[in-house]
Amino acid sequence: MVLGDRPLSCSRRRFLAWCGGAGVVLASCGPSSNSSGTVAGGNSNQRIAMGITDRIRTLDPADAFEPVSLNILLNLGETLYTYAPGQTELEPLLARKMPTVSDGGTTYRIPLREGVWFHDGSAFNAEAMAFSLQRFVRNGGRPAFLLADNVRSITATGELELTIRLSSPFSAFTAVLAFPGTCAVSPAAHAIGEFTPEAVVATGRYRLQDYAENSRLVLDRHEAYWGEPALNEGIDIQFFNTGATLLNAFKSGSIDLAFQTLEPNQIQTLLDERETRNWQVASQTSSLIRYLVLNVTQPPLDRLEVRQAIAAAINRTLLEERVFLNQASPLYSLIPNTVAGAQPAFLTAYEEHAIDTAKSLLLDAGFSPGNPAVTTLWHAAGNSRGELIASTLKASLEADLAGLFELELRSVEAATLFSNLDKGIYPMVLLSWAPDFIDPDNYLHPFVSCDRAEDGICTAGSTYLHGSYFYDRTIDNLVRQQRLETDARARADLLAEVQQQIADRVPFIPLVQGVDYIFGAPQVSGLQLTGAQAVPLWLVAKGS
């Protein structure tokens, strides 16, 4: 879900959302909190100052859909299920244990934790959890489809028991309940039918104390938290205009943490200085992927041999080294290798940088040095990393394929690119994708599912919205079957088959999988990252 370095949703209901925009945030204060009111740049010894460059559009859980907002919600709120830092196995959070699933996979009964309090002092219970999820659906925010598409009813069936009924089985549903926007919010502070971008009253280790127009965000420790409290007194988040100013602020010691978003060369600078400056560093292979969309209706990409030739000729190692300075890893499936069920299908199908295979495919398709296959790759203008990926692909493909293939480069403003994806005007597009929830389905259904097809071309659904227009009945059925399959082993077989089918038919080409970094000052400890580009700030401590 990223174009260049900006997240993209392929569903029109998500408005092809990307990280950006502005919001105004102010939270109510729980009566049990011990607020210092300290702001960034003047933090106490036990407060943490963090710098970022991304901008907040909203912090309302029912509408937030950008990584920067979801990262903050991870620290302010709590969902029914979550992932331990660095892990991809679900574990209970506001739920006491994993759900009991019945009625053929359509009824989820979830026992809830007792002794939990919202930041405003009100008690958490099943009614409050049901209200929160109902609000998530009925407010119709950008992520509402995550529940609205498949949830039939959400009911409090006991003081501490929640029952959710689905319209049909969905193997990834429990993972959806770990999406930060599904966190519990206080019914006394939030309403169905209204968004509150300035206020989040939840149950997490921090409460929102102050916000100043994307320049400062203050989180105070929730002193009445039900579990292990935050290891610091609070977080003061400062917003910077560029990665360069963020880097300078960190190196000068005016902030304790630097996160989102530094360029690869800036990251490399800090890595090179790690030992001499004693920087603290945490890294995690990201769930974000970078890939190419191929429009199968446009010549020469309507020829399977051409799509396969491009897939075979891709030099991922060159991208890893030249563009990302070894801060990424080659990707051979739309499902990243950090997610269970991933198979290196493109490596199996073509090997890596298989130039002889690519040449043979192009020659068999009737192309020659005097009659090369010519197509155009589009990317977002003004994004240095996207521009470097595109130029590296052009140089390597044209050099390796010796006149058999030519790649023209074009760029356009990101919002225009997003809005035109389904117009059929782009032969190839460079995009990136950050998942809504960590499950193989979120790397398949939003890509290759099709709701309606005519003459073998998708005219409604994910591949249409992505600008690929690809339709294959076998692949479409496999994606639908794995969503319904509740047996883990049977589902794994379906996932393996659909990945190989995608590699064979090539509507998309996976390129690389990123690595996320966060840097801390020498006195900081406890840095960790999740696989969803988030920082569990409550684990961060600072010495004297």
Q: Residue 427 has what DSSP assignment?
A: S
Is pLDDT larger for residue 111 or for residue 385? 111
Cα separation, 19 vs 209, in Å, equals 23
For residue 505 the two structure tokens come to: 């038919």
Query: What confidence score (pLDDT) does residue 85 get?
Result: 79
In contact, 529 and 260? CB cutoff 8 Å: no
Q: Residue 230 has what DSSP assignment?
A: P
Q: How far is CA 6 from CA 140, 252, 372, in A?
A: 23, 28, 33
Query: What confidence score (pLDDT) does residue 283 get?
Result: 93
Query: What confidence score (pLDDT) does residue 15 get?
Result: 31
Q: Residue 204 has what DSSP assignment?
A: S
Cα separation, 534 vs 221, in Å, equals 18
Q: How far is CA 272 from CA 183, 276, 466, in A?
A: 39, 8, 39
Candidates 140, 118, 144, 141; CA nearest to 200 is 118
pLDDT in tens, 182-215: 999 999 999 999 999 888 999 999 999 998 767 7
Give the pairing of strands 257-258 and 508-520.
Answer: antiparallel
pLDDT in tens, 225-265: 999 999 999 999 999 999 999 999 999 999 999 998 899 99
Q: Is 269 a residue whose pLDDT tops 70?
A: yes
Query: What confidence score (pLDDT) does residue 213 get?
Result: 67
- Could you tell me which residues come within 8 angstroms of residue 366 by beta carbon, excluding any fewer than 6 positions away? none
What number of other Cβ atoms are within 10 A of residue 63's Cβ?
21
In contact, 188 and 120? CB cutoff 8 Å: yes
Cα separation, 174 vs 82, in Å, equals 10
Query: What confidence score (pLDDT) does residue 357 get?
Result: 97
For residue 69 the two structure tokens come to: 């907002």
pLDDT in tens, 526-538: 999 987 778 999 9
Query: What confidence score (pLDDT) does residue 241 get?
Result: 92
Query: What confidence score (pLDDT) does residue 16 get?
Result: 38
Q: Residue 297 has what DSSP assignment?
A: T
Cα separation, 240 vs 23, in Å, equals 15
Cα separation, 219 vs 540, in Å, equals 13
Cα separation, 445 vs 247, in Å, equals 38
Query: What confidence score (pLDDT) does residue 527 get?
Result: 95
pLDDT in tens, 379-410: 999 888 899 999 999 999 999 999 999 999 99
Cα separation, 451 vs 463, in Å, equals 9
For residue 118 the two structure tokens come to: 């919202």
Query: What confidence score (pLDDT) does residue 215 get?
Result: 74
